[in-house]
Amino acid sequence: MIVQILHHRVLSADALQEHLRAVPLPAVRGEITDRNGQVLAISLPAGTVTVDPKLTAHPAAEAAALAPLLGQAPARVLQILTAPGQYAVLATQISGGQGSAVAALHLPGIYVHTSMLRRYPNGFFMGHILGFVNAAGGAAGVEESYQQALAGKNGYILAQTDPYGHIIPGTVVRTVPAQQGLTLQLTIDAPLQADLQRQLEMAVATTRASRAFGIILQPSTGAILAASSWPTYDPNAYGSVPASVWGNTVQGVDLPPGSVFKPITASAAIQAGIVSPNTPFFDPGVLDVGGVALHNFMPLERHTTFARAFDESANVVFGGVGIRLGASRFYQYFRAFGLLGLPGSDLPGEQPNIFVPQAQANALAVAEEAFGETLSVTPLSLITALNVVADGGLLVRPHIGRALLSSSGRVVKRIRPVIVRRVLSPAVAATVRQMMVGVVNDGTGERGFLPCYDAGGKTGTSNIYSATGVTNNFIASFVGMAPASQPAAIALVMLYHPHGNFNEGGEVAAPAVQAVLGDAMHVLGVPPHCTATNTLPPKPGAPGTTAQVLDMVAMPAITNLPVAAAVAKVRAENIYLQVNGTGARILHQDPPPGAMVQQWTTIEGYTSPNAPVPAVFIKVPNVAGQTIAQAAATLAHAGFSMEVSGVGTAAIQDPPAGRRADPGSAVHVQFRRVPAQGGGTTG
């Protein structure tokens, strides 16, 4: 007693410190949007309800009150309320409204813990780019590379707590509020990204390729307008796929490029003064290098020029040019193009390219490297190097982050383009681009023809290597850029192990690039410029000629056909099919069967997540006036995904509230800011 009296202050302070706890206030993670503000990742409030069964006084009555709020059977809730021990979980990931309703009951022993749940409203859309968040933070994609900016800064409340960690009323000593994370605005254009994903899915469905990769880049800035890999995953359920799928990214997989690498060889050779487009060559069809015979992919013209050898993708000519360059000079250009290092983008997990070490690069290695064999590069590294040709000879660092914004929309940091170095003279870059136009107009890349744009391209068909050597399987690739005079976009598609009679890059990868490049011209506002040479594509089977009249064909019936069969059926008529949706069958086509369409045009086919169309639809809920987070939760609870445009509160939705729609389909919601009261305007 005497000690308590004499040392009252000290003991009281010690006791207070013993009971004081820093109760964390988690920061709200910043949103991720595309370049136009479409929300791609959001954080929603979620709750966990726990119980101390020893404190429940009337378990049956409490179970009856809790069950409807939690959407559970009363018997199950009662079982948990009467379980042995002092801790059990009743429900997880409940909405904020559910949590408030449970807390309002003031039931002894029932606790509601609030946290934030990361959600990706568009499901599989951009899974590899966005990545996901686990207990440690961003663990893949831009969620990982921009973790520090997105995470914000946690706060805390210093107060006395009970044994369960709950603050005792009236004991708060200090509050440090949390700082919300910044919004990450990407360079991605969501509609263009969706088109790229559709084209990859269509190519996979047609060719049964085991993997596919695609990138669209803005040459002058290095901005990644779209990037996709297949197979992909839903970041909302990242744990349901093997971890190997997470790494199947444009920056994480090395592939032998094949002839799509030849623009780099051509650039180096022309810049070094070894050849010009008009340099004559005799191509015997085989090149003997140290006793090893190198062949062309198919019989080609024997008396040719360097430009024509480029059109026809002559390995023999390019192998000889590589030998003339020599290892020392060739590897200098590899370094200049950034191929012996990492692209240095803001995407995580960049893998280094694989080259024969320069000290071991004999004549055979250099000859094979000249046409894209015995080396492996990531799709991102390859398009970054090819972009040197597109951007007038400059190596530009690729990037996917556009800006970091505050929660009010203020720009905190603008992510600027970075020019690494000059690699080629503008004249050499322009020369190679014009040679690439020849590939599309007169060579192996005619399926990359883009009406009313002078498109340049290059095909690639490379061998897949196994532990025992070269296999009979291929990687089909195509790179395209338009307009060739000053490219506004460059696109690359690579298909790993396509099956079927047609598996070359010009057959299966070029149509995908042609489709997304055309879309990119529209998105970027590049007006068409029709000329006598770029209005009509060459007729099939007659390379080097320009058709004067395109044949009209009757639109075949593809409704109810599997996607791959539908694609094959329209391609047999020289028509392209754009598949909308991810279902197994075509459920609607536009134009209808029998309609007369012009060859080389693109028609629309629509699928559904289920085939056939489900007989029962569900009503779309009303989200008017709700925030993005509230609308996403409302639609998810009803069984729909959400496509977002704008900011603020929900103003317009499509389909409208009350209309019946396919479960699992997307509802497009347009959000608008509510005008401030009083005079003036908001920016």
pLDDT in tens, 383-408: 999 999 999 999 999 999 999 999 88
Better-scored residue on pLDDT, 463 or 643: 463
The residue type found at 233 is Y
Helix extents (H) in 623-678: 628-638
Residue type, 575: I
In the predicted structure, residue 683 carries a pLDDT above the cut 60: no
Pairing of β 456-466 and β 469-482: antiparallel
Alpha helices per DSSP H over 418-476: 426-442
Query: How far is 57 from 53, CA to CA, in rounded Å?
Result: 9
Going by C-alpha positions, the residue among 195, 227, 200, 291 that lies closest to residue 522 is 195
The structure tokens 């060559």 sit at: 281
Contact 636, 606 (CB under 8 A): no
Contacts of 298 (CB under 8 A, 6+ apart): none
CA torsion 536-537-543-548 (nearest 10°) is -20
Q: Phi and psi at residue 562, in whole multiples of 5°? A: -60, 150
Helix%, strand%, coil% for the chain, nearest 5: 30, 30, 40
What pLDDT does residue 433 have? Answer: 98
Buried b (16+ CB within 10 A) or exposed e, 569-596: bbbeebbbbbbbbebbbbbbbeeeeeee
CA 613 from centroid of its chain's CA atoms: 28
How far apart are alpha carbons 320 and 341 in whole angstroms? 26
Query: Coil, helix or strand for 360?
Result: helix
Q: How confident is the model at residue 272 (pLDDT cuts 50, 70, 90)?
A: very high
Residue range 451-472: mean pLDDT, rounded: 83
User: 49 — phi, psi (to 5°)?
Assistant: -105, 120
CA–CA distance, 596 with 374 (Å, rounded to integer):
48
Q: The tokens 């023999």 sit on which residue?
A: 316
What are 429's strand-pairing partners?
none
Question: What does the pLDDT look like over 581-625, one tens digit per residue?
Answer: 777 788 777 777 766 666 666 788 887 643 333 334 567 888 888
Q: Domains plus CATH for the chain? A: 8-186 (3.90.1310.10), 250-487 (3.40.710.10), 552-606 (3.30.10.20), 618-672 (3.30.10.20)
274-296 tens-digit pLDDT: 999 999 999 898 999 989 999 88
Task: For residue 264, name the pLDDT band (cuts at 50, 70, 90).
Answer: very high
Q: In three state form, how does the secondary structure of 242-275 look?
A: CHHHHCCCCCCCCECCHHHHHHHHHHHHHHCCCC
Q: Is the dihedral of CA 158, 161, 165, 168 positive or negative?
A: negative
Contact 636, 663 (CB under 8 A): no
Distance CA 5, CA 2 (A): 5
Tokens representing 329 are: 């000079």
Q: Residue 634: phi, psi to the nearest 5?
A: -60, -45
Query: For residue 256, what pLDDT is reported?
Result: 94
The predicted pLDDT at position 260 comes to: 97
- The token duo for 65 is 């009150």
Asked if pLDDT for residue 546 goes beyond 70, the answer is no
DSSP string over 118-176: EE-TTTTTTHHHH--EETTEE-SHHHHHTHHHHH-B-EEEEEEB-TTSPBPTT---EEE
Instruction: Decide the pairing of beta strands 394-396 and 303-305.
Output: unpaired
Distance CA 571, CA 89 (A): 56
pLDDT at 469: 67
Q: Which residue has the higher pLDDT, 543 or 361?
A: 361
Could you tell me which residues come within 8 angstroms of residue 288 by beta carbon, excluding any fewer than 6 positions away? 294
State the DSSP H helix or E strand holding residue 16, giving kind and residue range, or none if neither. helix 8-19
C-alpha atoms less than 13 angstroms from C-alpha of 413 in its C-beta half-sphere:
11
The confidence score (pLDDT) of residue 595 equals: 67
Q: Beta partners for 94? A: 47
- Per the model's pLDDT, the better-predicted residue between 673 and 656 turns out to be 656
Buried b (16+ CB within 10 A) or exposed e, 223-243: bbbbbbbbbbbebbebeeeee
Terminal CA-to-CA distance of the chain, rounded, Å? Answer: 68
**Residue scoring higher pLDDT (208 or 212):** 212
Whether the CB-CB separation of 55 and 74 falls below 8 Å is answered with no
| Sequence-ordered list of residues with C-beta below 8 angstroms from that of 47, at least 6 positions apart, any chain | 91, 93, 94, 95, 96, 98, 99, 102, 112, 113, 114, 115
Q: Which two tokens stand for residue 343?
A: 């692209």
What pTM was estimated for this model as a whole? Answer: 0.75
- Residues of the chain with pLDDT > 90: what percent? 45
pLDDT at position 610 is: 38
